[in-house]
Amino acid sequence: MCGIVGYIGTQQAAPLLLEGLTRLEHRGYDSAGVAVLGSGLRVAKKAGRVRDLSAELPKRFSGKVGIGHTRWATHGPANDVNAHPHVDATGDVAVVHNGIIDNAAALRERLTDEGVELASDTDTEVLAHLIARSTADTLEERVAEALAAIEGTYGVAVLHADFPDRIVVARNGSPLIIGVGEKEMHVASDLGALVRYTTTVAHLDDGEMATVTATGFTTYRQDLTQVQRAATEVDVDPASYDAGEHESFMRKEMLEQPAAAERVLRGRLDERFGTAHLGGLNMDARETREIRRVKILGCGSAYYVGQMGASLIEELARIPADAEAASEFRYRNPIIEHDTLYVAVSQSGETIDTLLAVQEIRRKGGRVVGLVNVVGSAIARECDGGIYLHAGPEVAVASTKALTNMFLGFALLALQLGRVRDLSISEGKRLIEALIALPAQLQEVLDGEDRLAEIATGLAQAESLFFVGRVRGFPVAREGAQKFKEISYRHAEAYQTSELKHGPLALISPEVPTVAIVPEDELTDRNVGALHEIAARRGPLVVVTHPDVDLRGLDVQRIDVPRSARELDPILLTIPLQLLAFHAAQVLGHDIDKPRNLAKSVTVE
């Protein structure tokens, strides 16, 4: 949510800021703005898209130092005044801010009592005034003094007309990255805004600040004691952040799933011993055997794939495992057990709810590992170890290839946990054989896109849908409903198939389709029986199933996916649901990559 960019160097800042903001549009926003330092400080901001801001930017908007922002409204509506950057009363200080200032109301009241006229409804504006009212000698001291007065989360970048040779940035709970160029420096909240210019970056940790000049950067704590923060090279192809020939990032990323699956498995499968090698967990076999429980934490799709992962771990390793919404975890004062392995799941590695849960676990002495897609992200740095997903950059808000690689990450974890316990070598080899075959099976499902597009056209006309499944199929149904609602804006609700007769069956009608997950397993007959109950009430049925499942006597739209090992079936059953959601949204004419009210990286609670 929200995005920050900054530039200082030898080029005109405004075009680079606008380009960077465009590359952050996937994070979700409702207004945009830039500030540049040239002959004084100048600010331009606008509700709407970056292109709207660009169209209204004055022709003479010169300056070689600047900051920019895309805002996702929290305090106050989306309008020109509430857009960032925010300035002080004299127009000498400009601030952009991601996060939420919890004590903003008290600070606004204090500033008003002191005679300050606040122009906006936002929490961020108080920062600009606090910095401007400081009498400290340096900009760094003024920013540190202002930050000491606030409570909450922030990633901030600050310009001051009296200090035109620098940008001061700070982080606490919201990501900030410094990009190192040749006689120029960049600042961003997301790597995607930087990769066209540099792949040499430094990540700030929580509680850190930095001074960025055209020739380098200096990092320090909020008490202004210096800390060493070296820049490193990130292995990323800038072309990965372009949709290329595809009409949307989501379609591009769906089609990349077979290749992404191969990457996450590469070098991690030991066919000789029927196990997985996950050196990044930083646990030896003895430590692994001491684990008695696994708790998985994630939000949204990461939570649902965590439920799939919990099932994998219980089946293969025979360890109690469950998944929980990370956003709720720390608020119930959880009991942290020394023999429990906690697993934090996040595509971006910056999801604030999940990051706070990780910090709560570590404060209480628990062991936590991460399943993340972004090297150097906050969650990756906070965890004791982890599994990088190697999905490549994922830009669309709706997660597809990262979700698939999360599932495969859990499969690898479950295999390694199982093999140090009671999972036999023959069972391990069976799983490995199925994992090796999986990328080709993913491609087989994607090749059926035309048929799925036809079915989606019909589903798009419904105002409300059910997604149902049992045991392994229920998290699949939850993820399917999530995808459908977030990009098609149709109401979609997931239930256990067994729960239909305990309430939801009352809503079944010809106007309410049901998408049912019916794998060939020990519950096939019961699942098919539930389909007959829906059909008896004239509910339209779309069934995602396996080729050998007998659906005779039922009027359904059938979607067959190839069989894998029973433990791996959920991910193959999930892929058609991605395509159904995508094509339904396309039929309805929605902006698929930027669904309303949502953001790619959720960095505020």
Locate 302 and state its tokens. Answer: 């990461």
Out of 70-79, 148-157, 546-555, pick the least confident.
Answer: 70-79
pLDDT over 80 (residue 305): yes
Q: Please provide the distance, in angstroms rounded to a whole number, between the alpha carbons at the two ends of the chain.
A: 11
| Mean pLDDT, residues 185-204 taken together | 89
Out of 186-195, 213-222, 293-302, 365-374, pick the least confident.
Answer: 186-195
| Mean pLDDT, residues 6-22 taken together | 94
On the CB side of 535, CA atoms within 13 Å amount to: 17
Helices (H), 337-472: 352-363, 378-382, 401-419, 425-446, 449-459
pLDDT confidence bin for 361, thresholds 50/70/90 = very high
pLDDT confidence bin for 378, thresholds 50/70/90 = confident
Cis omega (within 30 of 0) on the bond before 85? yes
pLDDT confidence bin for 74, thresholds 50/70/90 = confident
pLDDT over 80 (residue 25): no
Contact 239, 245 (CB under 8 A): no
pLDDT over 80 (residue 604): no
Provide the annotated active-site residues: 2, 600
Separation CA 531–CA 527 (nearest Å): 6
Separation CA 171–CA 193 (nearest Å): 17
Separation CA 294–CA 367 (nearest Å): 10
Strand 293-298 vs strand 93-98: parallel, antiparallel, or unpaired? unpaired
Separation CA 555–CA 294 (nearest Å): 42
List pLDDT tens digits, range 482-507: 999 999 999 999 999 998 888 888 88
Q: Where are the domains of the chain?
A: 3-241, 249-446, 449-587
Question: Which residues are within 8 A (CB) of 427 and not within 5 positions of it... i.e. 6 or more apart?
Answer: 274, 316, 418
pLDDT confidence bin for 600, thresholds 50/70/90 = low
Contact 425, 274 (CB under 8 A): yes
Contact 297, 321 (CB under 8 A): no
Locate 1 and state its tokens. Answer: 């949510």
List pLDDT tens digits, range 339-355: 999 999 999 888 889 99
CA angle 587, 583, 457 (to 5 degrees): 60
Q: Which whole-number Å values give the CA distances from 460 to 540, 541, 588, in the listed order?
A: 13, 14, 7
Selected from 3.20.190.10, 3.40.50.970, 1.10.300.10, 3.40.50.10490, the CATH number assigned to the domain covering 449-587 reads 3.40.50.10490
What pTM, to 2 d.p., does this model score?
A: 0.84
List pLDDT tens digits, range 231-246: 888 877 777 777 778 8
Predicted confidence at residue 455, as pLDDT, reads 97
Separation CA 138–CA 135 (nearest Å): 9
Predicted confidence at residue 599, as pLDDT, reads 67
Predicted confidence at residue 532, as pLDDT, reads 92
- Rounded to an integer, what is the distance from CA 544 to the centroid of its chain? 27
558 forms beta bridges with 543
pLDDT confidence bin for 584, thresholds 50/70/90 = very high
Q: Which whole-number Å values give the CA distances from 480 to 64, 234, 476, 588, in the listed order?
A: 47, 33, 6, 18
pLDDT confidence bin for 230, thresholds 50/70/90 = confident
Amino acid found at 371: L
Strand 177-180 vs strand 185-188: parallel, antiparallel, or unpaired? antiparallel
List pLDDT tens digits, range 243-260: 778 889 999 999 999 999
Locate 174 and state its tokens. Answer: 């919201």
Predicted confidence at residue 242, as pLDDT, reads 78
Instruction: Give the rounded percent of residues in the chain with a pLDDT score beyond 90.
Output: 77
Domain 3-241 has CATH 3.60.20.10: yes
Contact 124, 94 (CB under 8 A): no
pLDDT over 80 (residue 328): yes
H or E segment at 179? strand 177-180
pLDDT over 80 (residue 523): yes
Predicted confidence at residue 192, as pLDDT, reads 82
Predicted confidence at residue 144, as pLDDT, reads 96
pLDDT averaged over every residue in the chain:
92
Residue among 363, 365, 323 at smallest CA distance from 344: 323
| Mean pLDDT, residues 84-89 taken together | 95
Fold of 249-446: Rossmann fold (3.40.50)
Predicted confidence at residue 432, as pLDDT, reads 97
List pLDDT tens digits, range 262-286: 999 999 999 999 999 998 999 888 9
Contact 68, 21 (CB under 8 A): yes
3-241 and 249-446 agree in CATH topology: no
